[in-house]
Amino acid sequence: MLYILFGQDDFSIHELLEEIKRGLGDQTLLSANTTVLDGKQLSLAELRVAGETVPFLAEKRLVIIKGLLERFEAKGKSAGQKKTRPAAGEESECQSLATHLLQLPESTVLVLVDGKVVKDNPLLRRLSGRAQVKQFPLLSDNELRAWIRRRVSGEGGNILPQAVSLLAKLVGNNLWTMANEIKKLVLLASGRRIEEADVRAVVSYAQEASVFAMVDAILESKPGVAQRWLQQLLAEGAAPVYLLFMLSRQAQLIIRAKVLGSQGEPKAEIQSRLGLPSEFALRRTLEQADKYSWLRLKAVYHKLLATDLAIKTGRYEAELALNILIAELGQ
């Protein structure tokens, strides 16, 4: 049996892989009969050894190969850059691997696990007619909301539509984090329906969202709104120095995102270069980079530096300095 699981939604790939494992019988025996290989470095000889080994005290042997399809992706990274076709040597290697993968004994269950792969991938084309192929792209907004509702129900909970929307906005497509936050929310609700207030109280991205909202208010010269966000964050226990650090960090991220965007870098590359772990943080940073001018960003950044200096030299207490900063930028 050959499975091909690929896409950017690695959480759903992991869950299906675990389901495949459960279907192969005793998990203790399966553990002793499982081999995980690095597809980017895999040789034909290594594949033969792993795939043709007889199962030990079990009917099936599981071989998981990660990154094998990606190894044969056409070269070329950006939309404007022409992708090059595989060399003759790569074509021959691809054909040899495909032939052997399709000739493994029935006792071997083979699972290829990959990230983002195009549909004309040469190895995928050769294998797809004889394999169970499942693609896992990132969920759309509607799909994500439906996934949240199913996950909450599966955990034995219930959730209001408004809480679903807020949860989707704060966490985004990181389903590993989403699944963890849903577990905490179901425990917190203890049988009642999960509400927006529960999401704000539990989800770790809630404070990050408030910082984004405060940055927006500052950049849009809305001192009243920014002050309200500041007071809410302070009431939730955020230290003034920490908030200044977060404001300065976000200003730097917006400026860097604006530069990278002007250079035509794709979103995935921008996220990697900025070191942003969540889809939510990436989306909000890119929105702010598109929304605000260089002139406004420069003015805000210089004010942040001046505020930092005023605090460090003892000219102002941190909370007072933040209030002055917001007032000055709102003029």
CATH number of the structural domain spanning residue 176 = 1.10.8.60
Residue at token pair 């530096």: 305
For residues 128 and 182, state if they share a domain.
no
Token pair, residue 181, equals 């936050």
Contact yes or no for 39/91 (Cβ under 8 A): no
Q: Is residue 94 part of a domain?
A: yes
Query: What share of the chain has pLDDT > 90, as a percent?
Result: 34
Q: Answer yes or no: pTM beyond 0.75.
A: no
241 inside domain: yes
Of 102, 120, 135, which residue sits at a domain end?
Answer: 135
Residue 78 included in any domain: no
Longest alpha-carbon distance in the chain: 76
Q: Find the domain containing 21 and state its range.
A: 2-73+84-135
Residues 15, 119, single domain; the answer is yes
Q: What is the pLDDT of residue 80?
A: 43
Q: In this prediction, what percent of the chain has a pLDDT beyond 70?
A: 92
Tell me: do 312 and 222 sit in the same domain: yes
Question: Is 79 inside any structural domain?
Answer: no
The first and second tokens of residue 2, run together, are: 């050959």
What is the band of 163 on the pLDDT scale with cuts at 50, 70, 90?
very high
Assess whether 67 and 168 both reside in one domain.
no
pLDDT tens per residue, range 177-219: 889 889 999 999 988 999 998 888 787 666 667 777 888 788 7
276 belongs to a structural domain? yes
Of 131, 110, 126, give the one whose Cα is nearest residue 50.
110
**Phi, psi at 194, each rounded to 5°:** -75, 130
The verdict on residue 321 lying in a domain is: yes
**pLDDT-derived band of residue 288, with 50, 70 and 90 as boundaries?**
confident
Report the b/e string of 193-226 with b at 16+ CB within 10 A. ebbbebbbebbebebbbbbbbbbbbbbeebbebb
Are 303 and 264 found together in one domain? yes
Provide the domain count of the chain.
3
318 within a domain of the structure (yes/no): yes
Same domain, 171 and 283: no
Asked if 50 and 35 count as a contact pair (C-beta separation under 8 A), the reply is yes
**Pair (119, 164) in one structural domain:** no
Are residues 131 and 6 located together in one domain of the fold? yes
Are 88 and 189 part of one and the same domain?
no
**Alpha carbon of 261 to those of 200, 241, 264, 265, 279: distances in Å?**
31, 30, 5, 6, 16
Indicate which CATH number applies to the domain containing 297.
Answer: 1.20.272.10
CB within 8 Å of 234: residues ≥ 6 apart: 240, 243, 319
Long-range contacts of 318-324 (CB under 8 A, 24+ apart): 318/239, 318/240, 318/241, 318/244, 319/234, 319/240, 321/240, 321/244, 322/230, 322/240, 322/243, 322/244, 323/227, 323/230
Rounded Cα distance between 182 and 149, Å, is 10
164 and 215 belong to one structural domain: no
Asked which of 202, 222, 254 is the last residue of a domain, the reply is 202
Give the pLDDT of residue 76: 52
CATH code, 88: 3.40.50.300
Same domain, yes or no, for 169 and 194? yes
113-160, pLDDT tens digit by residue? Answer: 998 888 889 999 999 889 999 999 988 889 999 999 999 999 999 999
Sequence-distant (6+) residues with CB within 8 A of 249 are none
> Does the residue 194 lie in any domain?
yes
Question: Do 196 and 127 share a structural domain?
Answer: no
